[in-house]
Structure 1
């Protein structure tokens, strides 16, 4: 009430003058100053903060740190009191350090205050807090608060290349500063500190000079592994921020080929990263590069092979999150089923074959959900629509009945439902099963297994696979490979052929002389599932 009356001079100047005197009398007691500030009148608090004794200044700063300020109030406080608060931080009194940092954190969160805070030297002081002060010198971890304030100021867009961060003249864009930030990230630090360290790096990437330094330090310290681990951090903000940083670093980290492989090896199930890649429209570029590499050949270039593996791996990661409508639309738009089918054979890289098979498995698992019985379209004269067909040998209405997929029992295509049958991928997958590399064989078998799932027409699948002599490929895998996962898949497939394949499949399997010995070995040495 007093504050409202004080500022209503035009209504009653006498009452306003009296209210002002009462408020000044109330200022004699610190608790009153706090209550006045809580009601929106900050001048008494700020005046005591800037002009009072050291003890009063500390108390006012503590009050300020507890207040929730509007953006206008933050701007006013920055203009009136930022210099005094910075001086208190520099004084080294750790008892009230927490309150000082809280106040600066609030002020810096209003980006227009960035310029004022830079002018009073906040960047230098916060950098010193982060890089040189020891945690055991403080009653609280000042590094975390300093990083938050520094990140806020940098996000305001202030020029930082010329800002010095220590007495030796090192700048914020120097190896010294970036190395210290990376070093803190590589050591187990609180999530609150990590998020602010990453935001600082994100802000620094806006400057070409700083970006060059970050790339150099990341490569030198192999910090990319640390950043990858942070993607799966339980703190969602950490994961989102580090993904943004990795995407910005991608074009600059080592060679193009290693950059692509780097992205491919990030956790495939991370939807945030996949959406970020999609929004950067990387798929058309990837497909274009794949086409050029395949046209020029990879046999004479190790670089081209590594690049192709990375590009293929990035495409595969999109198939790991097909539950997201945008990913489903992407896979259909670019017909990834056909892309991976082509990659199975036209490559000299085992890794490309393995990745392509994984992509096909992910896509094929969705086929049964996407394949739907077609709606019959009717055409003809509306006037005669109700006449029964028996009245004429020439039907008045004609029915267009699409051919159904024999396996998925619906209208299928490689493009819209990722159907392996329509993509003619089965024969190529069987060829990949006749491979020396266990991983390629297992990935290829996993794709074939999707055609024997109980959700599809297994009898038809077995019949189609038998036409391609699939059981012989499976029996050969049992003979030539000893990997447990391969044997488990092989026996599962053999069981399907025995139950659903009829006399011919039973005959083919029973004539294999080495199979009984393999079964006995698996029974004695395999896990419970295999037994």
Structure 2
């Protein structure tokens, strides 16, 4: 007995034990959700923490036995929550590039923290609950899930990190490699790729590393220093001006004469200057390739000392290699500077010799090109394009081409020199070799947006390029076509091309040229960036026919370029509709379904083109043309069945195709057929994929199918797991459109009790509440999220289940709904009004009767006591009876009656009419009168909606039975009532006449009755 008393004394409210922990969890969840890097992983982590919070809240409702083991477990959990919160705050506040470079380490910590929280929860379970507890089962499930948790970076992020590691290992990484890495990192972390922004982020990264006081991990510190050293090779983080100042400062300190190499630079075996010197265990240095060859030939001793040699003991002589490289760079700088006056010499042979030397230096190393730019060679080389010597012009063009290649700064530097483009264009019309080189240079320059404007403005340039596009030389013709394609983004250039009959010859060659010429023309159309005007012109001039003909060609490559060209041209809706009208769909379907087709990329292109055609059917002019993608239900079934048999790119195009046709004029029939073939089952499977783009499309199509169908047909496919998946998408996705679609599906789920219970158990009310509290935003899809969330709430407010209504009310939804009546979109207001109406239908039943009533002859007399509801005559609260008056909802609902959207005003009217049902007529009418609702109802007698008219009429017929409202509203109601007696349905005529009799306008014996 004493033991029992002692044990009882140890029972304490669990809320005291877990209160601080729950608060810390909520703070950590908020911090995790605020992290913008690795958002998917942190959202996944925050969902575990939210589930942990729910479990602890359930525990808090129990009285449990306090013990040292329980306190120890809670301390462990609190410690891990602190670690998690600190990690989240670190990821919020630190430099994005720094975080990216540490993604693997961050996710490893996240994974470790998740597992430790799981273990701490397990200890709490052991210390506080017996094995039969329901909460214990929930903890067990959660712990298992967290122990299995895996956080991973994307393939693209992994690839970038691997490139960084490879770059550190490779000694010969150049600036292009470093530039590319910086661009990839910038795109991955979501910062601008503008040079100024990248430079700012890189400087912030260096400062963060320099100021980091937590460098306990020496390996990590060394790795960060190596990464910074690698990225420092990128010239994008240095402005051209800074590079030039740095270069000239160094070059002026070198003197004017090249230095002879030191004797130690020579390899004793080859007697050449070493590139990769290695040292033997006895201190002798050789060129790596030379000494390795010496050993491979069977020699086992050092060629100088004859001591035994071991290949495994050779090590790089880094210091000597750096000295050799520094010596070479010094002499090359001096050489480049010394060649400048020779290039400007009047002696043609000296100029030619110097140009050849410069060309060799350009080819030898990318860094040499930079030094040539710093020495201001560009204006000199441009001036040489006016030389009478064709060899001089050709070499100058070759050097300019190398300088311009893959370097936008240099392209613009070349183009800005006076007459530069004119001189290059002039070389196009000269001898073949010079013309080809000039064409290559012009092609490179045309890849820069700034320079494109200058090229198109040179008189005769486009005409000359059009002429060259018909050249017998395939490469020259291709280059000319590509330049013209690069210039075609400007309408004035397209006009010039049209004047030069560019598209005519191109299409003629596409129709009647040799196979190789057809291939080239189709490839041109597939690769050039055409304006909408150009695409339309090409179709009008007959591009479609030859391209469709090429689809049946035996050569797979020919099919590929033809489909790619059609894909390019069909992105314009007018062209897409023309393709449908002329039978392109059948050919594309035939190609897509061809089992012999082994080319994945071709199938992807075909599917993408079909998607363009489907999108074109949503254009306004599609209705007049009666453009249909599908001719039969079999076509729909056949295409949809491919989703299960193809890769993600084709799947994505097929899903987008169906989304488009479901939104077209024939959408209802398409949606009906998809429902009949159980498309939902496949879509639910796709919703569980890790491919987020594909998943988003699947959810959107799922939503389309549920919007206007009999949703009871979906019941067999809607499982607990399906609903859990949709809610997870809604909570974690960064794509507002996908979230809107997921909530759209949830709002249209079958209205059966089991589905509703599943939703409640999965904490759907909290998800809806979170979305509704975001309010309206400028984003279309974010507004749709709110609309669909408001609609989803309606199923929980039905008056047939007071327990569901109570859960909603206790979650503080009603004040939020009233706010949305003011700030929401029309669709949101409609759903809100429906929920409020359903709440109000329960109010009279749930209102607590007043304790004191004066009874005379069995009747209750007198006005309600103070504190009683003026409509329900009992005690009303939001949480107990859901009373509209307690929620201050009457005036907002009355203002919604004035909405132009009939559906919104009708829903509001329905909610207000619940106040005058049955015996509440007199009290409810008084409340409506005070809120100016009756006047608005009179206006609704003239509504365009017969149903709203009839509802208003029925309500007013009852209101006008009460004498006090006749003088105030009777006059304004007479004309619309008379109008109804003349134009309404027979039932409405009779009711309107009856109402007029209440107003003494007609007598009871009128013929209207």
TM-score by length of 1: 0.51
Question: Following superposition of structure 1 onto structure 2, how do residues 6-405 of structure 1 map, counting pairs within 5 Å?
Answer: 174-175=647-648, 186=674, 188-189=676-677, 198=681, 208=690, 213-216=694-697, 219=700, 222-226=701-705, 231-233=711-713, 237-240=716-719, 243=723, 246-247=726-727, 250=730, 255-256=737-738, 258-259=740-741, 261-263=743-745, 265-267=747-749, 269-293=751-775, 298=777, 300-320=778-798, 322-324=799-801, 326-347=803-824, 349-373=825-849, 403-405=867-869
Q: Do residues 471 (structure 1) and 973 (structure 2) align?
A: no
Match for residue 440 of structure 1 among 904, 921, 925: 904
- The structure-2 alpha-carbon separation of the partners of 1:529 and 1:489, relative to structure 1 and needing over 3 Å to count, comes to farther
* Residues 292-343 of structure 1, C-alpha deviations (whole Å, 9 max, x = no match): 335xxx3x443443232223222233213x5345522322212333222221
Contact 1:429 1:448 in 2 (8 A): yes
> Higher RCO, 1 or 2 (CA under 8 Å, sep at least 6)?
1
| Aligned equivalents of 1:339, 1:494: Cα separation in 2 | 30
| Aligned equivalents of 2:763, 2:772: Cα separation in 1 | 15
Per-residue deviation, 1:268: 6.6
Per-residue deviation, 1:467: 2.5
Per-residue deviation, 1:513: 4.7
Contact 2:699 2:738 in 1 (8 A): no
Per-residue deviation, 1:365: 0.7
Q: Could you tell me which residue of structure 2 aligns to residue 57 of structure 1?
A: none
Per-residue deviation, 1:346: 2.7
| Aligned equivalents of 1:459, 1:438: Cα separation in 2 | 27
- The structure-2 alpha-carbon separation of the partners of 1:527 and 1:238, relative to structure 1 and needing over 3 Å to count, comes to farther
Quick check: 456-465 or 440-449, which moved more? Answer: 456-465
| Aligned equivalents of 1:374, 1:503: Cα separation in 2 | 27
Contact 1:433 1:440 in 2 (8 A): yes
Per-residue deviation, 1:498: 1.1
- The structure-2 alpha-carbon separation of the partners of 1:207 and 1:511, relative to structure 1 and needing over 3 Å to count, comes to closer
* 3-state DSSP of counterpart to 1:208: coil
Contact 1:406 1:457 in 2 (8 A): no
Which ranges of structure 2 fall in alignment gaps of 5 or more residues?
Answer: 1-592, 595-642, 659-672, 853-864, 993-1009
- The structure-2 alpha-carbon separation of the partners of 1:402 and 1:416, relative to structure 1 and needing over 3 Å to count, comes to farther
| Aligned equivalents of 1:493, 1:267: Cα separation in 2 | 33
Q: Could you tell me which residue of structure 1 aligns to residue 205 of structure 2?
A: none
* Residues 479-500 of structure 1, C-alpha deviations (whole Å, 9 max, x = no match): 4x22111111111121121113
Per-residue deviation, 1:354: 1.5
Give RMSD over aligned pairs: 4.2
Per-residue deviation, 1:419: 0.5
| Aligned equivalents of 1:271, 1:208: Cα separation in 2 | 31
- The structure-2 alpha-carbon separation of the partners of 1:462 and 1:285, relative to structure 1 and needing over 3 Å to count, comes to same
Q: Could you tell me which residue of structure 2 aligns to residue 457 of structure 1?
A: 920
Question: Following superposition of structure 1 onto structure 2, how do residues 413-428 of structure 1 map, counting pairs within 5 Å?
Answer: 413-428=877-892
| Aligned equivalents of 1:438, 1:203: Cα separation in 2 | 38
* 3-state DSSP of counterpart to 1:233: helix
Q: Do residues 509 (structure 1) and 955 (structure 2) align?
A: no
| Aligned equivalents of 1:273, 1:426: Cα separation in 2 | 32
Contact 1:261 1:310 in 2 (8 A): yes
- The structure-2 alpha-carbon separation of the partners of 1:258 and 1:521, relative to structure 1 and needing over 3 Å to count, comes to farther
Contact 1:240 1:272 in 2 (8 A): no
TM-score by length of 2: 0.28
Quick check: 357-366 or 311-320, which moved more? Answer: 311-320
Q: Could you tell me which residue of structure 2 aligns to residue 489 of structure 1?
A: 951
Q: Could you tell me which residue of structure 2 aligns to residue 104 of structure 1?
A: none
| Aligned equivalents of 2:831, 2:807: Cα separation in 1 | 18
Q: Could you tell me which residue of structure 1 aligns to residue 188 of structure 2?
A: none
| Aligned equivalents of 1:225, 1:418: Cα separation in 2 | 34
| Aligned equivalents of 2:842, 2:736: Cα separation in 1 | 36
Per-residue deviation, 1:418: 0.8
- The structure-2 alpha-carbon separation of the partners of 1:367 and 1:178, relative to structure 1 and needing over 3 Å to count, comes to same
* 3-state DSSP of counterpart to 1:436: coil
- The structure-2 alpha-carbon separation of the partners of 1:178 and 1:358, relative to structure 1 and needing over 3 Å to count, comes to same
- The structure-2 alpha-carbon separation of the partners of 1:265 and 1:202, relative to structure 1 and needing over 3 Å to count, comes to closer
- The structure-2 alpha-carbon separation of the partners of 1:492 and 1:204, relative to structure 1 and needing over 3 Å to count, comes to closer
* Residues 336-366 of structure 1, C-alpha deviations (whole Å, 9 max, x = no match): 332222211133x222222211111111111
Question: Matched residue pairs, number?
Answer: 322
| Aligned equivalents of 1:511, 1:319: Cα separation in 2 | 36
Per-residue deviation, 1:406: 2.7
* 3-state DSSP of counterpart to 2:966: helix
* 3-state DSSP of counterpart to 2:874: coil
- Largest Rg, 1 or 2: 2
* Residues 442-477 of structure 1, C-alpha deviations (whole Å, 9 max, x = no match): 1111111101111x4221111222223332111122
| Aligned equivalents of 1:270, 1:337: Cα separation in 2 | 23
- The structure-2 alpha-carbon separation of the partners of 1:444 and 1:231, relative to structure 1 and needing over 3 Å to count, comes to closer
Contact 1:354 1:440 in 2 (8 A): yes
| Aligned equivalents of 1:437, 1:203: Cα separation in 2 | 37
| Aligned equivalents of 1:511, 1:177: Cα separation in 2 | 63
* 3-state DSSP of counterpart to 1:435: coil
* Residues 169-201 of structure 1, C-alpha deviations (whole Å, 9 max, x = no match): x9989449979x999x93635xxxx69x94x87
Q: Do residues 408 (structure 1) and 884 (structure 2) align?
A: no
- The structure-2 alpha-carbon separation of the partners of 1:510 and 1:346, relative to structure 1 and needing over 3 Å to count, comes to same
| Aligned equivalents of 1:429, 1:417: Cα separation in 2 | 18
Per-residue deviation, 1:275: 2.7
* Residues 143-169 of structure 1, C-alpha deviations (whole Å, 9 max, x = no match): xxxxxxxxxxxxxxxxxxxxxxxxxxx
- The structure-2 alpha-carbon separation of the partners of 1:173 and 1:215, relative to structure 1 and needing over 3 Å to count, comes to farther
* 3-state DSSP of counterpart to 2:961: helix
| Aligned equivalents of 1:410, 1:352: Cα separation in 2 | 31
| Aligned equivalents of 1:417, 1:173: Cα separation in 2 | 55
Contact 2:686 2:694 in 1 (8 A): no
Contact 2:938 2:952 in 1 (8 A): yes
* 3-state DSSP of counterpart to 1:415: coil
Contact 2:843 2:883 in 1 (8 A): yes
| Aligned equivalents of 2:972, 2:925: Cα separation in 1 | 19
* Residues 201-242 of structure 1, C-alpha deviations (whole Å, 9 max, x = no match): 767766635x765554565xx3444467585128x5434366
- The structure-2 alpha-carbon separation of the partners of 1:466 and 1:256, relative to structure 1 and needing over 3 Å to count, comes to same
